[in-house]
Amino acid sequence: MKTRVISSVLSLVMLFTMLGLQPATAQDSVSEFVFAHGGPIRTMDAPVTWFGSTHWLTNLLYDCLIWRAADGDGYVPQAAEDWENLDDLTWRFTLREGNTFHNGEPLDAEAVKWNLDRVRTREDFLVQPQWTFIDEVIIVDNLTVDVITKEPRPYFEYDVSYNGCELLPPDYMEEVGEEEFARIPVGSGPYKLTEFTESDRYVFEAWDEYWGGRPEVDRVIYQVIPEQSAQVAALLAGQVDLIPSVPVPDRQMIEGADGISLVTETSNRMHLFYLRVETETGAVSETYPDYVPATLDQNVRQAISHALDRALLADVQGAATPTLLRACSYTPEGSVGKYADPATIEEWYNPELAKELLAEAGFADGEGPTIYLDAPTFQSGNEKEVAEVAAVMLEEVGFNVELNVLDTSAYNEQISSGGNNRDLNLVTLGCSPSLVPSFYQCEWVQANYNVCVEEWDAIGEEIARTVDPDARLALWEQWWDYYMDYSQTLTLYEIDNVMAYNSSEFEFVPRKDGWFTFRDIKLADG
């Protein structure tokens, strides 16, 4: 009997050893950069989806007309080698001579028109609403395209390089149909997609005929590794070259590891609290018929704002920069006016002032109103922990906090999009200035909030029309005054990514827009 056990165990061991000793896939002299992606990854038919983390990949596969510069300063040419603003409503793009897609199909004005028309008219595309600013696309000649907008767009370049700008080959698409295209996508970017398993592993190979020249690294692989600790292990095992987020307790260990470097850069996302200022939108008045938000009172909202120690919350998040405005610090709009001043931000945390404001709202010291705080567990950071600590801070000035932390997808479905959010709900959002004012206009109704302040509305409208940068920034200063005063949205901080990568083989400079796309990844010198 004993021998049976021993022999079964031995044979298992032998089997495994044999499996392990299979010759590893021959290591060519091909340079290969592997990125650990948290998943999921959606379709490669780029305009269909709005998810940024999928567009990190499509950015390798496709060119747009123009695109954001890595350091956040301006825009760079891609399929268009030149562009100019002809008048208030017209922008002219000049395409490259002889530029083609990976399969040889020409990338000309007709192709561009097909793409822009497709993305702005297809109602099943989730990015479509973002493209309705275009009125018409006109083919001037084979290499020249005019884009006519409905209204003057001060942020036109941002708008035209938004998700969905990817240029797909029309002839190929019409030939194989959308379903087959999703299986074998073709673009005109510096990398071709040679093989992939849906939402699991994507292998990109450098394309020799790219107009900008063949990229330096031969192969870029996006490997989905859902578990964060497995990502760290994979990096330490030398099987992955970059991980997007290093958990706080692992940072010291990784810093000390040979050949691995830690680097921090903004993720271009923020954590914010939405506060209830009315009960008509969403389902909240049905779900909680007797509920009257304490946050209807502006004093209460401002009290909440001053009760939060944003620096500490940033710490809990892991790596973040405390902010008061709903815009990134590197954009001009995010650095204008007194609220962008670090001194103001530091002094904003003022529990005494919070208590005073509460008293003014009719709540004697220590007996604040009951407020409900809704948060997801883990969306782009430590939402659960941040919410827990925020709750503690609010209780310290007298609020009675009912904390409700939900699984992220249930949170999105029921609270956020369901409009069942109560006094406070924690959201993660991007920080581009192009759209922000529209979110605070009377006609913009979202399930979980609607803000209507006439004068504020008017300033927002003007910003959307003002093309002159200085005049626009002056308007922004006024806009921020309203934002801070009204306190419906409380910005907490701009989240940073703390990344770790294989510095012995690669030279990696993170983009300032938080995107993990690797057109320009370089090999380390020496």
Closest CA to 187 of 292, 267, 103, 84: 103
The phi, psi pair for 421, rounded to 5°, reads -70, 145
- How many CB atoms neighbour CB 77 within 10 A? 18
Residue 410 or 467 with smaller CB distance to another protein: 410
228 binds another protein (CB under 8 A): yes
Per the CB < 8 A criterion, the answer to whether 278 and 433 are in contact is: no
Instruction: Collect all residues with Cβ–Cβ distance below 8 Å to 41 and sequence separation of at least 6.
Output: 53, 54, 57, 198, 199, 200, 202, 222, 224
Site string for another protein, 466-505 (x = CB under 8 A): ----------------------------------------
Phi and psi at 169, nearest 5°, equal -80, 115
Size of the site for another protein (CB under 8 A): 92
The least CB distance from residue 74 to another protein, in Å, is 24
Q: Is 260 in the site for another protein (CB under 8 A)?
A: no
Scanning residues 314 to 353, which ones bind another protein (CB under 8 A)? 315-316
Q: Is residue 464 within the footprint of another protein (CB under 8 A)? A: no
Q: Which of residues 152-181 bind another protein (CB under 8 A)?
A: 178-179
**208, 255, 407, 485: which one contacts another protein (CB under 8 A)?**
407
If you search the block for the tokens 């901080």, which residue do you land on? 493
Tokens of residue 312, six digits: 């500490």
What tokens does 500 get? 């770790």
Question: Among residues 439 and 486, whose Cβ is nearest to another protein?
Answer: 439
What residues between 58 and 97 interact with another protein by CB under 8 A?
A: none
Residues of this chain, 281-300, that bind another protein according to CB under 8 A? 281
Rg (alpha carbons) of the chain, rounded to whole number: 26
Tell me: does residue 234 bind another protein (CB under 8 A): yes
Residue 1 near another protein by CB under 8 A: yes
Q: Are 408 and 377 in contact (CB under 8 A)?
A: yes
| Complex with another protein: residue 45 or 297, whichever CB lies closer | 45
User: Nearer to another protein by C-beta: 10 or 76?
Assistant: 10
Pinpoint the alpha helices (H) of 372-489: 383-396, 408-410, 454-465, 469-486
Site membership for another protein, residue 409 (CB under 8 A): yes
Residue of 239, 264, 344, 370 that binds another protein (CB under 8 A) = 239
CB of 329 to another protein, least distance (A): 21
Tell me: does residue 183 bind another protein (CB under 8 A).
yes
Contact pick of 58, 188, 416, 497 for another protein (by CB under 8 A) = 416
Which amino acid is it at 31? S
- In the complex with another protein, the residue whose CB is nearer, 59 or 94, is 59
Across 103-116, b (16+ Cβ under 10 Å) vs e yields eebbbbbebbbbbb
Q: Is residue 262 a contact residue for another protein (CB under 8 A)?
A: no
Sites for another protein among residues 429-448 (CB under 8 A): 429, 435, 439, 444-447
Residue 121 within binding range of another protein, rule CB under 8 A: no
Is 100 among the residues that bind another protein (CB under 8 A)? no
Q: Which is nearer to another protein, 85 or 412 (CB)?
A: 412
By CB under 8 A, the residues from 361 to 390 that bind another protein are 376-378, 382, 384-385, 388-389
Residue type, 443: E
Site for another protein contains 20 (CB under 8 A): yes
Phi and psi angles of residue 51, each rounded to the nearest 5 degrees, phi first: -65, 120
Span of 147-155, 242-250, 289-297, 341-349 interacting with another protein by CB under 8 A: 242-250
CB burial of residue 4 (10 Å; 0-12, 13-18, 19+): exposed
Beta strands in 198-339 (DSSP E): 201-206, 219-224, 242-243, 260-275, 320-322
